[in-house]
Chain A
Amino acid sequence: MNANTTVERVAAPQAAPVAQGGAAVVARPDAAAREVLLAVENVSLGFGGVKALTDVSFDIRKGEIRAIIGPNGAGKTSMLNCINGFYHPTEGRITFKGETRQKMRPHEAAAGGIARTFQNVALFKGMSTLDNIMTGRSLKMRANLFWQLVRFGPATREEVEHRRKVEDIIDFLQIPHIRKTPVGKLPYGLQKRVELGRALAMEPELLLLDEPMAGMNLEEKEDMSRFILDVNQEFGTTIALIEHDTGVVMDLSDRVVVLEYGRKIADGTPDEVKANQAVIDAYLGVPH
């Protein structure tokens, strides 16, 4: 949106409005040419003596699926925590939608349009699926305390209007049968799905997924992959995901960034990354 972006972006986005769904698939290889949504520049993060991230730079472009991979302890989750304001980088800066933020709080990131799921499911266990996803719309609800107290007028209208949106998400994720079930009682795979739903309820511009497929069987992984692609293509949401299943990562993502010991060792399309010797040594390995 801002005028100071370079000439190279003119070509790709202009084609997008013609056919959103189709264009996205065709445009996959050109992801690098799109507008930058989030730029991470020379970010370092230290906890006392431990350096979780050292001088990491990469960008996430509008509408792409960006994967962050790397061995355990490489700093992937720390990176996401920096992006949504849970940690503050000790050095470097993060620019989101052309705005560089210093010490942003997580709820400010949420208001800015960054949503997030967690490695270990972080749902509100005592609440139903419906309430969990409804909570995701908190930021968009405006009725004041008085109307909330009498549960009438604007409070009811607003609640019903948001309920409709939430039901769309429930349908999209195919979970209407567990609408009223407390999420603590749900199996793991469904909990992950509800968590995705809660993040989607925020209608984010950037969706951060921390290991969305951890601990799932093949079928569940296929379902989740489908949802991620659908979210990306139908809603146009930009996605950054951390995932250990290399097959899934290479199939889903437009571009991949590889971290090891808090440093970036590779960045590029899945094919480039797969062929990179440093990545093979550090993470992928060779087939025996």
Chain B
Amino acid sequence: MIYRESGQYKTSYEADRAVFPLRQDRIGIAVIIAAAYAAGVFGSDFLLQAVLIPFLIFSLAAIGLNILVGYAGLLSLGTGAFMGVGAYACYKLMTAFPEVNVVVWILMSGFFSAAVGVFFGLPSLRIKGFYLAVATLAAQFFLQWSFNRIPWLYNYNISGAIEAPLTTLFGVPITGATATAEARYLVVLTLVIGLTWLASNLVHGRIGRQWMAIRDMDIAAELIGIRPLHAKLMAFACSSYFVGVAGAMMVFLWYGGAEYNVFNIDQSFFILFMIIIGGLGSLIGSFMGAALIFMLPIGLGIVLPAITEPFGITVGAATIEHLRFMIVGALIIFFLIVEPHGLARLWQIGKQKLRVWPFPY
């Protein structure tokens, strides 16, 4: 009843091409954004540091990978490494030019991972699918090796790790040991909202259509005049930009420091699972996938003891950890069987049902 488009007439093509054509959707997004900012002010440190900051960062990385896999149809297993490029580039820039604001460097670091992404995207012009995935593995292993073996990248630290120096934004510390979770969360939130907006503009415009055309039928796309070289490398560049920025944010606004093995292949798979569960070719799916894969284990860690304790069963921390893995695994399989197109499709079906409610169709 509330989710109806009746009475909302579009009188111009501008209105018709809006990302959120329904008034209810626009209100919903505004409420979510307001709630997200409110969480920064009223949320506990645990909520911000252990749940929301990583959730947002992984969402951004998932958006990046989704541009490549979901929109352009190019399978990549190098996400972890591209996050690393962003992080190490940001570290070098921060330490070389400490007078420039860190937020600028976080956004700039994406361009380095974009350049590296374009280079490792070159094989995509000749190979597709699993073969391309294997080719991107080369990026994963080579870059991870570089992070470990090229001491220049971590400024010859004896520990071999990169660490966030203290930096401020408007006088408030946002990286380094003294930065509060609240300040970091607000920076992450603002950056993620801004970058998501850019990603949404990109995929809803000409470039997005070209990517999808290449994904759905590359021969026809070429005969229409889309240059596969441009479109594919553009997808690698944009994707790697978002992934790189996510990597820089992960190290400087969440962990506070990192070693080369943070950016291993597990990280790549982790992000890939997020977009498969969330929905390929969907921005909201990227958020949903990140939420499910990242927050579900945390949620279970809290819920499981609460369920078992009233029955007088005390479960050890190790057992809970095992149970968590088992339940998350089972849920992932369940979701994929129920809706192979991911949570984004479930969400769409739900919205469609709501639109015609109380009638079945």
Q: Quote the shortest CB–CB distance from A171 to chain B (angstroms).
A: 14
- Kindly provide the distance from the CB of B74 to the nearest chain A CB, expressed in whole angstroms: 15
Is A155 an interface position by the 8 A CB rule?
Answer: yes
Given known A86-B223, A123-B216, A139-B225, contact A151–B209 (CB-CB < 8 A):
no
Q: Are the C-beta atoms of B225 and A127 separated by less than 8 Å? A: no
Q: For B217, what are the chain A residues with a Cβ–Cβ distance below 8 Å?
A: 122-125
**CA of A95 to CA of B217 in the docked complex: distance in angstroms?**
28
B222 and chain A: residue at smallest CB distance: A106
- Within the assembled complex, what's the spacing in Å between the Cα atoms of A116 and B14? 30
What chain A residues lie within 8 Å of B213 (beta carbons)? 124, 127, 135, 138
Given contacts A84-B223, A149-B201, A150-B201, contact A138 B206 (CB under 8 A): yes
With beta carbons under 8 angstroms apart, the residue of A118, A138, A143 that contacts B210 is A138
Return B285 CB to nearest CB of chain A, in Å. Answer: 13
- Bound together, the chains give a CA A138 to CA B228 distance in angstroms of 13
Q: How far is the CA of A159 from the CA of B17 in the complex (A)?
A: 9
Decide yes or no whether B202 CB sits under 8 A from chain A: yes
Residue A160 interfacial (CB < 8 Å) = yes
Residues of A contacting B222 in the complex (Cβ-Cβ under 8 angstroms): 105-107, 110
Q: Does B149 contact A (CB under 8 A)?
A: no
Given A126-B281, A138-B210: A148 touches B202 (CB 8 Å cut-off): yes
How long is the Cα–Cα vector from A113 to B224 in the complex, in angstroms?
10
B206 touches A148 (CB 8 A): yes
Q: Is B26 an interface residue (CB 8 A)?
A: no
**B13 touching A160, Cβ below 8 Å:** yes
Cβ of B220 under 8 Å from chain A: yes
A255 to B266, CA, bound (A): 63
Given contacts A123-B217, A125-B217, contact A138 B226 (CB under 8 A): yes
Total residue contacts A-B, CB cutoff 8 A: 103
B226 to A: closest C-beta gap in Å: 5
Cβ–Cβ < 8 Å partners of A127 in chain B: 209, 212-213, 216
**Inside 8 A of A109's CB, which chain B residues have their CB?**
223
**B198 and A135 contacting across the interface, CB-CB below 8 Å:** no
Residues of B within 8 A of A244 (CB): none
Cβ < 8 Å to B, chain A residues 143-195: 143, 145, 148-151, 155-156, 159-160, 163-164, 167
B242 CB to closest chain A CB (Å) equals 12
Does B324 lie at the interface of the complex (its beta carbon under 8 Å from any beta carbon of A)?
no
Q: How large is the interface on B (under 10, 10 to 19, 20 to 34, 35 or more residues)?
A: 20 to 34
Q: Which residue of B has the minimal Cβ distance to A122?
A: B220
**Contact flags (1/0) for A111-144 with B, using CB distance below 8 Å?**
1000110100011111100010011101101010
**Contact: B223 with A143, CB < 8 Å?**
no
B281 closest partner in A (C-beta): A126
In-complex Cβ contact of A124 among B14, B17, B204, B220 (8 A): B220
CB distance from B195 to the nearest CB of A (A): 10
With contact pairs A123-B216, A124-B212 given, residues A202 and B224 touching in the complex (Cβ less than 8 Å): yes
Q: With a CB–CB cut-off of 8 A, which chain A residues contact B219?
A: 86, 106, 122
Residue of chain A at shortest CB distance from B17? A159
Interface assignment of A66: CB less than 8 Å from any CB of chain B: no
The complex places the Cα of A145 from the Cα of B205 at a distance, in Å, of 10
B134 within 8 A of A: no
Q: Which residues of B contact A93 (CB under 8 A)?
A: none
- Top 5 A-B residue pairs of the complex, sorted by shortest distance between their CB atoms: A110-B225, A151-B201, A124-B216, A139-B225, A122-B220
> What are 7 residue pairs bridging A and B, where the CB atoms are less than 8 Å apart in the complex?
A106-B222, A109-B223, A124-B215, A138-B209, A151-B201, A159-B205, A202-B224
11 extra interchain contacts, Cβ-Cβ under 8 A, other than A107-B225, A124-B216, A127-B212? A106-B219, A110-B224, A110-B225, A123-B217, A124-B221, A126-B216, A127-B216, A135-B210, A159-B206, A163-B16, A167-B13
